[in-house]
Amino acid sequence: ERLGEVLRTLPASAQDAGHPMLALLAPMLAALGGDNGEAVAALDRVAAHPDPWVRAARKLGTGHLAMNSGNIEAGGDDLAEAYELFERLGDRFGMVVSLSGLAEVAMAHGKPADAVRWLEEASDLAIDDVAANWAHTIGMPLGWARAAAGDITGGRAEIEAAVRVAERTGNLDHAARGYVHLGELARAAGDLGAARTMLDRAAEIVAARPRRPDLVFEAATAYTKLGCLAEQEGDLDAAAGWHRQALDLLASSSVLLTQSNQTLATVVEGAAALAAARDDHARAAQLLGLAHSLQGFRNEMSLEVIRVEAATTLGEAEFEAAYASGRLLGQPDALALSF
């Protein structure tokens, strides 16, 4: 209750004070506390702030929050506006963060070549003594986008280089994410042995640090991908156990829950693949619809989506009807899934 009082009273006083960072404290606290609605409301309260940097940062925040809630179009519009505002101000770091978000939007739209273009620009800005550490961080999504655009060898090499830097510098969330990406590339190529090596390494990183909040989403992703791998190997009980562990982690986490929708959708896609492996194809299609509802798009680049659609025994109309029923579900339904 006390935090709520602070969040309600701070924005007005912060805006009156005119300090840019103070003006953004309330929305940051709300987001960190998992209150997406209050974060948006707090950002709206500084929409007319006299400092143009605050207005640019607000658009950056509303863009990411919109994307997480599944509103990809609104998120993309806000991020594009944030980029333009930061560009006008000459704030290249703000431009880098905006470009990274725009790349996520491009991937959601199934346009990895556009994502590569945005991320290459972001990398160029970061390397130019703006935020050198971001240049290495950007290598992870850039390699992933490059692979999705068809340059698998180049993309893999870029991810591998980014992982090496992440491990050396202690950015273990990025290292774990990179190993998951490498595992996904191996699974897509049919090399389940290599995929296990990569995913086991990701799990090793996160399991050794269970209390680090920045690793929650990487852990859930690694666990659910290990579930997908076990399912491909024919061990459906182990697959269910991994997916359950991923879901339990997200359901019990009170840290940054507003940022978990994309990760939750990944777990739901894994559950869909497991349902298909159990020959429950209507349930699999429904779960893909739920994943769509969570992340705001039909993830045609997801290996699980591809596998479920290829394996289905449903006719097109029956599949789409089940899929549409999943679109009516939301986060509470996802968090309540059983395996």
Tens-digit pLDDT profile for residues 21-41? 777 777 777 776 667 778 888
Residue type, 270: G
C-alpha torsion angle, residues 196, 299, 115, 226 (rounded to 10):
-10
DSSP-derived secondary structure for 126-149 = IIIII-HHHHHHHHHHHHHHHHHT
CA distance 313 to 169: 48
The answer to whether the pTM exceeds 0.85 is yes
Q: What is the DSSP letter of 213?
A: G
Of 39, 57, 68, 27, the residue nearest 297 (C-alpha): 68
CA distance 42 to 33: 13
Three-state DSSP at 278 gives: coil
Q: Which of 141-145, 167-171, 318-322 has the lowest mean pLDDT?
A: 167-171
DSSP-derived secondary structure for 42-95 = HHHTTTT-S-HHHHHHHHHHHHHHHHHTT-HHHHHHHHHHHHHHHHHHT-HHHH
Give me 336's structure tokens: 């309540």
First-to-last CA distance in the chain? 36
Tens-digit pLDDT profile for residues 90-135? 999 899 999 999 999 999 999 999 999 999 999 988 875 555 567 7
CA distance 240 to 305: 17
Q: Are 119 and 138 in contact (CB under 8 A)?
A: yes
Q: Which single residue is written with the structure tokens 């690694």?
A: 222
Angle of CA points 186, 191, 195, to nearest 5°: 50
| Per-residue pLDDT at 11 | 47
Q: Residue 5 pLDDT > 60, yes or no?
A: no
Helices marked H in 170-260 — which ranges? 172-188, 192-207, 216-232, 236-252
Give me 106's structure tokens: 């491009």
> Hey, which of 138-142, 161-165, 233-237 has the most confident mean pLDDT?
233-237
CA distance 225 to 285: 19
Tens-digit pLDDT profile for residues 181-215? 999 999 999 999 999 999 999 999 999 876 677 78
Region class of 151: left (phi > 0), else alpha (psi between -120 and 50), else beta? beta
Of 217, 295, 287, the residue nearest 261 (C-alpha): 295
